[in-house]
Amino acid sequence: MTLAISTFDNKRGGNTFFKAAGHPLAARAMPALLAELAAAGPVAVYDPLDCAEDLAALYDLSGLEIEGVYVQDLDHLGRSKLGQPTRPVTDLAGAKAASVWILCFDDERPREHVAHLVPEGARVESLVPLRLPADMLSDERDYLAKVNFATNFAFFRDGDGHHSRVATADYWSGYGAEVPFLWLCLFDQAGQVIAEWRETWEAAGGAIAVDSAEVRKRFGLEAFTGQLFLHACGIAGHDVFKYALDTYGDDPAVLSCTHDANAWPADFYAGLPAPRADETVLLWVQNSHPAPIPGGAVGLNPMGRDEAVAWLPEPLPAFASTAIDSRKLLPDAAWPQQIEVQAGKHMVRPRYEVLKDNGRRRIAHVNVERTDLKPDPRIAEIANLMGKVYILPAPLLSPARFRTSLLPTPMARGQANLPLSVLVYDAAGRELATRRLGKLPRGHETALDLAELLGEGVSLANGAEQDWGHVELVYDFSEGGEGDGWLHAIFRYEDQVSGHSAETSFGSHIFNTVLTYKNEPQSYAGRPPGLSTRLFLRLGPPPLEAFCHLIYPASTPWHEASETKLVLHDSKGGEVASRDVAIPCGGSLLWRPSETFGAEEMAAAAGGYVIIRDTTCRLFGYHGLANGESAFSLDHMFGF
């Protein structure tokens, strides 16, 4: 029961029609438009953009008496759309219809094209009544331009001592945007709009933080758990909305963070850990569309067992949220098993929440499981030229205090096995340990405890707690197997003193080589290779203190040390101070803004952020917040 919408294609990129048609403001206007069309009588549907089925997936069109569906592209002739075979638009003149409904948002030219074909007396309608206000558009000439729909969703909660905070910055001014702003819409758990407002940056490059406690106070809301819809308007250059999401509490032991949601709903997600005996794992299903999710459309199965899907029986209203207890659907699943999510394009990348019996909790996200990838034998063949080729780097926290573990996760439907090795390095880039994992089957249950790999008594950089190291997951074809460049893993960090935990997951890339393969090393702007860094680190509001772990991975030997600049900005985007640091190739650096910059500088930057900039190499970063010794959070950073 996959939602029949076209979302993201790795060759053509994102299709914005579903975003435009399913926008909360469009959803609000659609009932009146459908009522007018239904009241007028038979409707001839003209579908020049091939979007009729997408529209029907988002809205119930059964109240319309559809006379016929007409198309412009002859390749679409004879297809079944809205339950009817399509006809050429040149037949429209003979339609016995009271209305002609042109399915497009920019309707001036399409109206002109068919004006001579409209049946006498028929009214002409389009999707223009669903258009957003003009000031919300970055490109008024092309309504479906990607920059018009830089939208995203965030898990958002406030109640019972739990709060949420979305932090981002105006990175669009750097691409030429003049006055960007945010349009926000808050849905409660039932999918009802409980708040709607705008946030404007004080200045170009400024920071914005949307805090649930402040929102609740501003609008006089009761406790809520739902989702926040975010739309960046008036932007330029970059159509992806990125943010950091912190969940914190009145109790200092409540703290976690996660990444922005991938804004393109997918068929499958993976990387959901099964619970330990002392844990409950909740998957937050949050409907991203104005169409309800039918019962039996979303399900869970143990990874590698497609025949064992357990479906969520209850329907979920438009834009509503619900938490699935994985143990109730899959009672026998237990760590280190992993769970696959059958999502059917009903939601953007979901969050999951792990509740421990000791009262601690953490939140993280699953990742899109790709359906288009096939094994690529060239990855093994080009290793003589590109060294490690694909690398998945992650922090290794001090073994003296933290237990660090990793669980490789299949993240493509075509991955039958995972041929892997694990490499461990200290902060200076010295290799400490290696473990070949062999050719893991798709449904493997292999979690690696890095303390066991390092062995008792092994310390990093003379045992100094601040000199943490990192771990790399790479391909190893010594026992055969197949690779496709889409390595993923869950990395879990457990504080042996406080009992607090955090986890993160991400995928591999090719790093720091001038050679390119399939658009890697990835570049945010311009052609690959991407050999520079621009990362965003939000500063935590007191008493929360930000920290950052930077890793300098290299597929082939690169510059001996990075030339990294840490630039402190205030809330308006103004530069307060900067520091230069050098990270050894293959090494890492753990640092805190409060220890890097002076007290006066930090005070001047309150509410701001740090940009990590390097024009000589690509760094991979992780960020987090610490609440003294009580709790910490950790997730990968975003760049632009």
For position 462, what pLDDT does the model report? 44
pLDDT band at 458 (very low <50, low <70, confident <90, very high): low
For position 562, what pLDDT does the model report? 98
Of 364, 338, 486, the C-alpha closest to 420 is 486
pLDDT above 70 (res 446): yes
pLDDT band at 9 (very low <50, low <70, confident <90, very high): low
pLDDT band at 463 (very low <50, low <70, confident <90, very high): very low
Among the residue ranges 25-29, 200-204, 459-463, 618-622, the one predicted with the least confidence is 459-463
3-state SS string for 134-170: HHHCCCCCCCCCHHHHEEEEEEEEEECCEEEEEEEEC
For position 465, what pLDDT does the model report? 47
What amino acid occupies position 217? K
SS3 (DSSP) at 358: coil
Mean pLDDT for the stretch of residues 303-317: 96
pLDDT band at 460 (very low <50, low <70, confident <90, very high): very low
pLDDT above 80 (res 194): yes
pLDDT above 50 (res 464): no
Mean pLDDT for the stretch of residues 484-491: 96
For position 260, what pLDDT does the model report? 84
pLDDT above 80 (res 251): yes
In this predicted model, what pLDDT tens digit does every residue of 59-82 receive, in sequence order?
Answer: 999 999 999 999 999 999 989 999
Distance of CA 123 to the CA centre of its chain: 42
d(CA 41, CA 31): 16
- DSSP string for 163-223: EEEEEEE--SGGGT-SS-EEEEEEE-TTS-EEEEEEEE-SSTT-EEEEEHHHHHHHHTPPP
In this predicted model, what pLDDT tens digit does every residue of 148-177 receive, in sequence order?
Answer: 999 999 999 999 999 999 999 999 998 899
For position 466, what pLDDT does the model report? 47
pLDDT band at 428 (very low <50, low <70, confident <90, very high): very high
For position 640, what pLDDT does the model report? 78
pLDDT above 90 (res 507): yes
pLDDT above 90 (res 14): no
pLDDT above 50 (res 461): no
For position 11, what pLDDT does the model report? 58
pLDDT band at 12 (very low <50, low <70, confident <90, very high): low
Domain 8-130 matching CATH 3.40.50.720: the answer reads yes
pLDDT above 50 (res 599): yes
pLDDT above 90 (res 291): yes
pLDDT band at 10 (very low <50, low <70, confident <90, very high): low
In this predicted model, what pLDDT tens digit does every residue of 35-58 receive, in sequence order?
Answer: 999 999 999 999 999 999 999 999
pLDDT above 70 (res 564): yes
For position 301, what pLDDT does the model report? 98
Task: Judge residue 609's burial from the number of C-beta atoms within 10 Å of its C-beta, 0-12 exposed, 13-18 middle, 19 or more buried.
Answer: buried
Tokens of 12: 């053509």
For position 628, what pLDDT does the model report? 94
pLDDT above 80 (res 377): yes
In this predicted model, what pLDDT tens digit does every residue of 266-276 receive, in sequence order?
Answer: 999 999 999 99
Cβ atoms of residues 631 and 254 within 8 Å:
yes
